[in-house]
Amino acid sequence: MEYFGRYGGLNEGVSSPYRLSDVQNRFMVIGCNALASISDRDGTGYEGYGAAACRNQSDLVDGSCSGIGCSQTTIPKRMYFYATTFFSTVNNSRIWKFNRCSYAVLMETTSFRFSTKYITTNKFNGTNDGRVPVVLDWAMRDIKSCDVAKQNKTGTYACLSSNSKCVNSSNDQGYMCNCINGYEGNPYLPGGCKGLTMGLFGLMVIIMISVFWGQMTTQKRKLNKVKQEYFREHGGLLLFDRMRSEKGLAFNVFSEAELRHATDNFDISRILGKGGHGTVYKGIIKSSMPVAVKRCGIVDERQKKEFGKEMLILSQINHKNVVKLLGCCLEVEVPILVYEFVRNGTLFELIHGRNQALQISFSTLLRIAHEAAEGLSFLHSYASPPIIHGDVKTSNILLDDNYMAKVSDFGASILAPSDKEQFVTMVQGTCGYLDPEYMQTCQLTDKSDVYSFGVILLEILTGQLPLKLEGTEKPRSLSLIFLSAMRENNLEDVLVSQVKGQASMELLRGLADLARKCLEMCGDNRPSMKDVADELNRLRKLSLHPWVQLDMEMDEENLPGGESTTGYEIELSGYPMDKSENHPINPGSSYYAR
């Protein structure tokens, strides 16, 4: 194997009083395809290796030195010399197209923090003119230990002060001298260790406090500088400018300290839920106002650049069936979002989980589906620019105090792309809900949300999970099971008994047909979310007033030529109304009796 390298160490060799600290130093290797060794061929015979590799810039993480772009290796004791060698045959031209530079160095661990700029801009070599700190352990090396030194008859024992003590070296043979407790000075001189008076002690306390506060002030300034950089990077300046120009904009920019206080420092007892796009905590702001605080997962460079702009757009979304975005925090590496708090769980829990025992009526489930469709339709058709949700599922449909649906979790949302370069290229969403066309093209569109919503309709109809994992059989997709039943005219076989007992087959076939259209393989053949919402509204009327259809059929028989009417409107009167949904109360629903 070919290699090239250089040597480093101490000119005095083994007789030197210095040793390379095995505790405070590490052998660092930086690069995208780097293999380097560190050895002490003339000393202990030690040889160690460090390897660093990466595929692309998105693999790199600031502060992480565990093999991707950066690795670190410990060294043994007793080293006074080292050689560094690179193995050149590890490199190849494909990796060089991304980054051909590699670095290896033995340095103080606490002085090093990996930065992705070392790889992306090759700036490591420019740090401190290419010089880095290393820690050396010093000791009297000519005698092995304190015991031997004290017995030495030649008078070379170095601890000459009467108030000194001998300490064995922890790195190779040798010893050092220290003043005993309560004394300070030079233990290597006769009378060098002097007693501390209270005045000196007080002075030292003052000095230590001053140093401490000085360090705290410096660290605070550094932290503020980092926060300001994050704020600028996430588009905070643009956000502030717009907030000043539009004084009526109901949006808040929170500090990290405010949100830590609101969530008890993001205590685990405050967690409302976790997902692929982050963790949501319950918080309390303005003394009594509950909110949902979402710490997002990693965002890519495009999202960072557009974050402030997208916050402005999302902050202006005001629809009763969309969770309201109240504000954000931009002074952290990954932004934090603050939403209105919706307290009654999710549609997933209503169908499959902890709230399943409530046995909500089918008409209420149909209403919730209609409201969710209205919220998504608003995002697709009336937001400017249009917003694609990207992760539509029952667990992202929240329910308020009146069990009204609110579409939530815009962690995967994107603004509708204006050109092909802006299409999403990383798979996102949830298995069982993913649009198969998106899986093939990586192009997220409004029809991707329509497909996912079709799966939600299947959950309501069948009471089944989107992906069946129980038993020894291979996982089966609910959408494939449903479409197969529709082709074989076996719809009743997949319907949940509760649904069949509460709705007519005419209504259920209408809902199943709508779900089938949403699940078309080709996105162009699927209806828009507005069409879905309109059809659900029509089916709700049929669900609430099934006799209307019969009256219409009787009227059609009396029309000339048997022609049917269109645009038939229903006016309701004389019925008690549910204040949360503007339709007659269903006395059989446990929801209304809660």
Binding site, annotated residues for ATP: 294
Q: Which residues, 6 or more positions from 133, have their beta carbon under 8 angstroms from its beta carbon?
A: 107, 108, 111
How do beta strands 47-53 and 103-108 pair?
unpaired
What 3-state class would DSSP assign to 538? helix
Three-state SS sequence of 317-379: CCCCCECCEEEEECCCCCCEEEEECCCCCEHHHHHCCCCHHHCCCHHHHHHHHHHHHHHHHHH
Tokens of 568: 């038939």
> How many Å separate Cα 515 from the centre of its chain?
32
User: Do 105 and 132 contact (CB within 8 A), yes or no?
Assistant: yes
Q: Which amino acid is at 373?
A: A
Can you list the alpha helix ranges (DSSP code H) found in 419-528? Answer: 436-441, 446-462, 478-487, 491-494, 497-502, 505-518
Helices (H) and strands (E) in the chain, counts: 17, 27
Q: Which of 22, 391, 435, 446 is catalytic?
A: 391
Q: Which amino acid is at 152?
A: N
Number of residues written out for the chain: 594
Q: Measured between alpha carbons, how far is 479 from 339 in angstroms, rounded to an integer?
A: 32
Q: Measured between alpha carbons, how far is 247 from 71 in angstroms, rounded to an integer?
A: 50
Binding site listing = 294
* Catalytic site includes residue 391: yes
521 torsion bin: left (phi>0), alpha (psi -120 to 50), beta (else): alpha
Place of tokens 């009167």: 573
Q: Which value, to the nearest 10 degrees, does the dihedral of the CA atoms of residues 152, 155, 160, 162 take?
A: 70
Active site residues: 391
